[in-house]
A and B are shown apart, each in its own frame.
Chain A
Amino acid sequence: MGMMVRGSDRLRILQKRKRIDKLKTITVTAMAVLFAIVFLLPIILTFTNSFMSASEISANYGSIFATTDKGGKVFVSKTVNLKLIPDMITLGQYITVLFKSPEYLFKFWNSVIYTVPIVIVQLGIATLASYGFARYDGRLKRAIFFAYIVMMLMPYQVTLVPNFLVSRSLGLYGTAWSILLPGFFSPFAVYLLTKFMKRIPTEVMEAASIDGANEWMIFSRICMPLCKGGLASIAILVFFDYWNMVEQPLILLPDADKHPLSVFLSKINTGEISLAFAVAVIYLVPPLLIFLYGEDYLVEGISYQGGIKG
């Protein structure tokens, strides 16, 4: 008799706990969903709004952007309507951007010619350097590596002054090189890749060395293949960073024609505000594709960064 009561009690407790667990899962999931909506909404809205017609955009948002333009007299409603789905879906804005207003494509191209070489060359220099750091540790090397970390941590407010001075004295100021060269030698990729390479057991390299491989062979045949994932993740991080550059062009490129789209997009004038969403989406596509294809690499790369001492 007593045993049975205890048994049913236990069952009840178990059921109760299950209920609480279920409730907890629901609450946590609800919170996650809420956060996800907040995180995604700006991106989704940019996409959907890019399919609106010019008149719909100016009717919806005119009162916002008209305030910045004192000259134009545009009839707009006083209230702003945020719409998830356009009244009429049109590709008109894209057609205008791609075929009728070449200046946006020029600026897009500027972004490409700054970002792509920086990603490739920074990685190339960094793979060499990180092998140098990871192999044959020494007191001097450790001190230099620490200096790299300090440089990596410095914000643009500090590093742009030296970059500016060099650009001026080498006559690069105002040219693409003033953006490219500091990007090539940025210590970020060196730092991260060194962390990747230090995880390769020294025994692997020593074994190759005993088998008669020289340093270049160890570097190119053993280290590089083992660091593929690391290289991919760093390439993604560097790409995102430079695709979004704002500070450097503002200071190093006085000629606005040379600005990348990441700066120019905000200068879009009120008359063309309907194009802005389409341009924003076009600018978002390359990082979006890279993100969707390379998310696992990206996560791995970020995970490796943690622990500055490591």
Chain B
Amino acid sequence: MTANKRKSLISWLFLLPSLLGVTLFFVAPFFVVIYYSVIDNPIQGNFVGFENFINVWNNAAFKQAGINTLKFSLLAVPLAVLLSLFLAAVMESRIPGKSYFRTFFLSPLMVPTASVVLIWQVLFNYNGIINNVLKFFGSDKIDFLKSDKAQIVIVVLFLWKNLGYNMILFMAALASIPKELMEVAALENASKFQIFWYVKVRFMSSTILFVAIMSLINSFKVFREIYLMTGDYPYSSLYMMQHFMNNTFASLDYQKLSSAAIIMFIVVSALVYVMYQVENFYGKDLEG
């Protein structure tokens, strides 16, 4: 017994460096963030309840950033899941040069955003390539990055960067489905679509959840593309949560920053929780 206790104590020693660092840089200051979110200012420190939250919530810039970010994520995440599932299915079928295609689809993952931003600008600029093509077909030019179409551009860039990563996750999941399961389904005269939908997709539900969560998290990073293309002050439909945070950092408004971070924390947690519950409900009888 004591020997076991000693061993378990040693295993805590292995954890110690990480625990200390995480506590110092993430957990402890997060409590400070909570504290800042409920006081009037760091010097006086009067408790004001939810006032900061209400102020941030009613802030026009915050609203704009929140709506834009949410809109983007709600469009980009389902598309990312569906298209990468499609790519994984393509990779499952009999095509030549599979390993090359895997490399090609995965390659955007390694490209630093800064390195391709120039090409995106050449493509999507008002005088850019895509508009040249549109003009050739007799359509009007669109100022992509300065119009309501801007969100579409950003979705495309997001998909470009993230599909390969998701595809690998789905390929791994498809490979792990027991062959017998599909054979039984085939014996029972299930159509290809039925096998795909009721066997494969169902079996992969936890991977679909994971891909959706990772895509959601990565969708908040689309700020990189937007910032590197359009700078500090993008067109209003491209004004994201990270822009709002940057501007608030610049003005050093601790109350606003803290309340915004906590609202964001709650929203992300809630979204992940909901996705988790949906998967739990859908894939319950398959958990081993």
Contacts and interface: CB of A to CB of B under 8 A. Distances in A.
Do A and B share a complex?
A: yes
Interface of A: 24-25, 28-29, 31-32, 35-36, 38-40, 42-43, 45-46, 49, 61, 63-65, 67, 78-80, 82, 125-126, 128-129, 131-133, 135-136, 138, 141, 144, 147-148, 150-151, 153-166, 181-182, 184-185, 187, 190, 209, 215, 219, 240, 243-244, 246-247, 250-251, 261-266, 276-277, 280-281, 283-284, 287-288, 290-291, 295, 298-299, 302-303, 305-310
Given A136-B8, A307-B206, A240 B24 contact: no
Given A79-B127, A181-B21, 18 more contacts: A42-B119, A43-B107, A126-B18, A128-B15, A128-B18, A129-B17, A135-B7, A157-B242, A161-B29, A164-B257, A166-B29, A184-B21, A246-B223, A265-B228, A266-B114, A302-B169, A306-B169, A308-B209
Interface of B: 7-8, 10-19, 21-22, 24-30, 32-33, 87, 90-91, 93-96, 100-123, 125-129, 132, 160, 163-165, 168-169, 171-173, 206-207, 209-211, 213-214, 217, 220-221, 223-224, 227-229, 231, 241-242, 245-246, 249, 257-258, 260-261, 264-265, 268-269, 272, 276
A287 B15 contact: no
18 contacts: A28-B95, A64-B125, A80-B127, A125-B21, A129-B19, A135-B7, A136-B11, A147-B27, A157-B264, A162-B26, A162-B261, A185-B26, A244-B113, A298-B106, A303-B172, A306-B172, A308-B210, A308-B276
B115 to A, nearest CB: 4
A295 B165 CA distance: 12
A29 B100 CA distance: 12
Contacts of A277: 118
B11 A154 contact: no
A306 B119 CA distance: 32
Contact of B93 (A28, A64, A156): A28
B264 A266 contact: no
Contacts, number: 287
A151 B19 CA distance: 13
Contacts of A125: 17-18, 21
A31 B111 CA distance: 23
A132 B11 contact: yes
B29 A162 contact: yes
A82 B129 contact: yes
B114 A302 contact: no
Contacts of B160: 38-39, 42
A263 to B, nearest CB: 7
Nearest first, the 5 A-B pairs at minimum CB distance are A185-B21, A162-B29, A132-B15, A132-B14, A303-B172
Contacts of A28: 90, 93-95
Contacts of B95: 25, 28-29, 32
Contacts of B268: 153-155, 158
A163 B165 CA distance: 28
A305 B106 CA distance: 16
A155 B217 contact: yes
A214 B102 CA distance: 43
Contacts of B104: 35-36, 39-40
Nearest to A252: B249
Nearest to A30: B95
Contacts of B172: 302-303, 306
B107 A291 contact: yes
B127 A156 contact: no
A281 to B, nearest CB: 7
A221 to B, nearest CB: 15
A305 to B, nearest CB: 7
Contact of B114 (A39, A82, A133, A283): A283
Most buried by A among B18, B119, B229: B18
A291 B111 CA distance: 10
Contacts of B106: 291, 295, 298-299
Contacts of A164: 249, 257
Given A36-B101, A43-B116, A185 B25 contact: yes
B164 A39 contact: yes
A280 B213 CA distance: 30
A169 B126 CA distance: 46
Contacts of A32: 90-91, 95, 101
B206 A303 contact: no
Contacts of A49: 118-119
Contacts of A265: 114-115, 117, 228
A280 B115 contact: yes
B18 A299 contact: no
A66 B123 CA distance: 15
B204 to A, nearest CB: 9
Nearest to A277: B118
B29 A262 contact: no
Contacts of A79: 127, 132
Contacts of A78: 127
A82 B7 CA distance: 64
Nearest to A209: B7
B114 A155 contact: no
B218 to A, nearest CB: 9
A287 B114 CA distance: 13
A45 B169 CA distance: 28
Contacts of B223: 246-247
Given A64-B125, A154-B268, A251-B246, A281 B115 contact: yes
